[in-house]
Amino acid sequence: MNLEKVIFGFFIVFAATLNFGFFIGEIDNPVHHDIYELFAAVVVNLIATVLKFGDRTQIGAIHLATSLVADLQLLAAAMVWGYAEHVANTGLTPSTMSSIVSLSGGALFANVISVVILIAETIMQRR
């Protein structure tokens, strides 16, 4: 068993599951979406992105692209949350929460693509 591939796969799947955990629930209800779960999703996605930098293959490039998309959308969601809470002083209105969850949904889709590519890559490998 290759420890590097285990760690790589772990962070890809962990990023997707954390993002899914934040995404699930009523889209406009802040009670269903924890800020710490969003923070964890951002951090784990950033770690997964760093792990994808070493691969020089075409599949590695697609892995990196999906990870960058997820990072961008999760960071945008965190910035919208921070802006609503600390700059605009409007708090988490249903409209703002919907925007945050929608951005995390885009990141979730990118994470799912990354997991599918990981599975396809694993299936295609020969011993």
Model confidence at 111: pLDDT above 80: yes
| pLDDT tens per residue across span 9-63 | 999 999 999 999 999 999 999 999 999 999 999 999 999 999 988 778 888 899 9
| pLDDT tens per residue across span 54-109 | 778 888 899 999 999 999 999 999 999 999 999 998 888 999 999 999 999 999 99
| Residues in the chain, total | 127
- Domain around 36: 3-124
Residue 28 phi, psi dihedral angles, 5° rounding: -110, 10
Q: Are 108 and 71 in contact (CB under 8 A)?
A: no
Spell out where the chain has E strands. Answer: none
- The domain tally of the chain equals 1
Number of alpha carbons in the 13 Å side-chain half-sphere of residue 125: 9
What pLDDT is recorded for position 127? 59
How many other CB atoms sit within 10 Å of the CB of residue 51? 19
pLDDT band at 1 (very low <50, low <70, confident <90, very high): confident
